Amino acid sequence: MIKPQSGKIAHSRVTFILPIIVLPNSGEVARKLEVLFLAETESRESREWSAETGICSLKPCTISTAFLSEEGRKEGRRRSSRSVEQKQMAEVSGKSFLPESLPGYTADIAGQLGLLWELIRVPLIAPLLRVCVYICLAMSIMVFMERLYMGVVIVLVKLFWKKPEKRYRWEPMKDDLEMGSAAFPMVLVQIPMFNEKEVYKISIGAACNLSWPADRLVIQVLDDSTDFVIKDMVEKECIRWASKGINIRYQIRETRGGYKAGALKEGLKHDYVKECEYVVIFDADFRPEPDFLRRSVPFLIHNPDIALVQARWRFVNSDECLLTRMQEMSLDYHFTVEQEVGSATHAFFGFNGTGGIWRIAAINEAGGWKDRTTVEDMDLAVRAGLKGWKFVYLGDLQQHRWSCGPANLFRKMVMDIATNKKVSLYKKFYVIYSFFFVRKLIAHMFTFFFYCVVLPLSILVPEVEVPKWGAIYIPCIITTLNSVGTPRSFHLLFYWVLFENVMSFHRTTGLLEAKRVNEWVVTESLEIPSRTSPIVNLLHRGNP
């Protein structure tokens, strides 16, 4: 064996060169040498000399076996490869299952998760996300066109079109000395209630103070309260007003079948209602102005084709906090834009469930109140509109349920609308596409899926690119157009966008539960000090 000049081998790679001796039995010698050097190769060690002791230690190296047979060299390479793989697996296993420290273990897990994400991102996530981007862009264009259409029409309505008082025949109600109170039609006021402890006195008192002959007005309190204490309080309040000469009726049911729709339906079945021509509906937290009937009833008296007069809501606590301002912005667009446009262009819009007066004959012709959905007000409005009745919105004069209800109603009535022969093709298109599909379905789904799902995911998947016009320009225009209903809150648009993104999740959940949700969940109303407003709804009352 050859000893190096220094006492230690300087490099990890050492080549041992042995002389080739030709022996008679050279094949046997070669095989023995193969075994010897293959053992050296598998251990992957070399020798380290000690100048003092003359003993060599073992260190990694590579052994040259060029003189071996071809079969031996192949076997050596296979064994060497297996040895290296086993060593690498041992190192990986040691790092994965026996970490030296928690940070090292966490980094290893993060690395493995990153590798897994790289493997599934390109073939699976990216194509699916790209499809979602295209769908959301299409929905954004639909919402944009709808908002643009509404914006243009509302400008034309405000600038050029006549107000309802001039488009329809309207004459103020006057006292007739000869006919007396008989000159006024019989009007029924329905006030549905459910455990309204804080506001029942306000709504009952406001209804009893309406400027209308007492003998031509019937006030019906429909109490579905489950709290017997509250029931007793409401009944005593009705008795108190009855003692003052007000024709007020306190009605209760054994069960809450049909919820609000069931209560309104039962209320119309009483014998004393047969004398009434019109019915007004006020929720328990409404405070109508005394002249409400005198301003709205003439539309029904002088225009026999009108079935509904809807007054605009105003809110007593819109300035109470930032959240109430955001809610006001959301609801004002519905009232001041959507309903105004629907009334001006097609004499059709969705009934708000309160603050409106109906012609009882139109309700009966449309099939009456139905409890098949939680939007019984919209259900009745659509069925009456398909019968050819007209609606009037007076601009000067609820969330989860508002999402799942329209979707459920649309599913049940789309064929009735399409096959109806009493309305024009243009009005059918407006009701199906604009009123239902875009406003009640697409608008809610687009807001949630695009802003809360697709855009955040596109950051993690660089293979998918969202165009600027779809991510920035169109959303900005839509947001600006939505502020038309509440111009005084334009400076709060940033907060309103955040509010709408949060609410979009709630509304989208309602859409996905459209087939299952058919139950009223009433939130307790709180008493707010009165302020001047024609029609008032408390903003913080929950609309399920």
DSSP 162: P
Length of the chain: 544
| Beta bridge pairs of residue 192 | 222
C-alpha count within 13 angstroms, C-beta hemisphere, residue 12 = 3
Q: What DSSP element (H or E) covers 150?
A: helix 126-159
Q: Which two tokens stand for residue 321?
A: 């906090």
The angle at the Cα of 444, spanning 438 to 449, to the nearest 5 degrees, equals 115
Q: For residues 137 and 128, what is the distance between their CA atoms, to the nearest angstrom? A: 14
Distance CA 328, CA 331 (A): 5
Instruction: Answer whether 215's CB lies under 8 Å from 179's CB.
Output: no
Dist CA 406 CA 467 (whole Å) = 32
3-state DSSP assignment of residue 119: helix
Closest of 150, 427, 85, 373 to residue 77, by C-alpha: 85
d(CA 41, CA 49): 19
Letter for the amino acid at 265?
K
- Asked if residue 359 lies in contact with residue 307, where contact means CB atoms within 8 angstroms, the answer is yes
* Dihedral sign, Cα of residue 273, residue 366, residue 223, residue 296: negative
The first and second tokens of residue 490, run together, are: 């334009």
86-124 per-residue burial string, b: 16 or more CB within 10 A, e: under 16: eeeeeeeeeeeeeeeeeeeeeeeeeeeeeeeeeeebeee
Residue 346: both structure tokens together: 């097609």
227 is catalytic: no
d(CA 41, CA 25) in angstroms, rounded, equals 25
What span, in angstroms and rounded, lies between the C-alpha atoms of 341 and 349?
9
Task: Name the pairing type of β-strands 278-281 and 217-223.
Answer: unpaired
Out of 285, 332, 377, 379, which one is annotated catalytic? 377
Q: Which of 220, 353, 206 has its CA nearest to residue 283?
A: 353
Summarize the chain as % helix, strand, coil (round to 5): 55, 10, 35
Beta-bridge mates of residue 390: 306
Per the annotation, the verdict on 224 as an active-site residue is: yes
Pairing outcome for strands 278-281 and 187-193: parallel
What is the rounded distance in angstroms from the CA atom of residue 245 to the CA atom of residue 521?
35
Token pair 């003692």 is found at: 243
Candidate list 223, 224, 371, 379, residue with the active-site label: 224
Six token digits for residue 472: 């920035």
Give the residue numbers annotated as catalytic, written as ranges: 224, 377
